[in-house]
Amino acid sequence: MDITHSKDGTRIAIDRTGEGPALIHVGGALNDRGSGAALAGLLAPRRTVLTYDRRGRGDSGDTPPYAVEREIEDLAAVIEAAGGSAAVYGMSSGAVLALRAAAHGLPITRLALFEPPFNPAHDDRLTRARAYSTELTGLLADGRRGDALALFMTVVGMPEETVRQMRGAPMWPALEELAPTLAYDSAVMDDAATGAELPRDLLASVPVPALVLDGGASPAWMRDIAHRTAELLPAGTHRTLHGQTHDVDPAALAPALEEFLTG
């Protein structure tokens, strides 16, 4: 584990795997730096993969008050630790953070994104995202981390019975530790203001080559959003990984990333 520090002094923990050009893995909700370890191992023969704990997770610190701009500064610090520029792969809400960082002008050479979870315009998902943000904020303010975690799992489609069973699982306390960062991902998505609507202006301002991936077995609306995201990016391309879902198999993902990064 390496340590770097963000602009505001926050400690950011990094793992490095492999040798070669740098690729930074930006995890999504409830991910820590270990979440990208399997993918990093598959890419290691040709590149150095940096996985990091986003603020508030794992071995990284957390300096209040939170702002999306601070997370962009965190990624900037990781890029500096990688050598000053790097390709970036973002998963889910981590893909949206990567997009915001690229639009902000960070030295990102190439951008790969898996299923950024934007919502279609004029869709009831916009209303649900705003309601989720409000309820999540209230639960966390009351210290109800377990209920906040259960809310997130239900919102993303997990059956309530499965969530009830998970609350008794050995992994649950560790997930509760990450629950406050669900508000960070909600802020990255802009749930409260826009309902996580597809941000056309933001996408139009991303100058770097970008690959947007989706899973062929994912819901149709998510696949459509991935395709539309790619269309709105000035240098965007789209690819479907057949048979995959939002829980993408690193073995299916790694070859697609390698092809894009070396293309």
Q: What is the pLDDT of residue 123?
A: 82
Q: What is the pLDDT of residue 30?
A: 96
| Residues with Cβ within 8 Å of residue 70, at least 6 apart in sequence | 6, 7, 8, 10, 55, 63
Per-residue pLDDT of the chain (263 residues; tens, 9 = 90+): 999 999 999 999 999 999 999 999 999 999 999 999 999 999 999 999 999 999 999 999 999 999 999 999 999 999 999 999 999 999 999 999 999 999 999 999 999 999 999 999 888 999 999 999 999 999 999 999 999 999 999 999 999 999 999 999 999 999 999 999 999 999 999 999 999 999 999 999 999 999 999 999 999 999 999 999 999 999 999 999 999 999 999 999 999 999 999 97
Backbone angles phi, psi at 91, to 5 degrees: -110, 125
Give the Cα separation of 196 and 142 in Å (integer).
Answer: 24
- Report the SS3 class of residue 54: coil
Q: What is the pLDDT of residue 122?
A: 81
The structural domains of the chain, with segments of one domain joined by +, span 2-118+199-261, 124-189
State which fold the 2-118+199-261 domain adopts: Rossmann fold (3.40.50)
* Whether the model pTM is above 0.75: yes
Could you tell me whether strands 2-5 and 48-52 are parallel, antiparallel, or unpaired per DSSP bridges? unpaired
Taking alpha carbons only, the member of 229, 184, 236, 177 closest to residue 210 is 236
Taking alpha carbons only, the member of 93, 113, 107 closest to residue 239 is 113
**Tally: H helices and E strands in the chain:** 12, 8
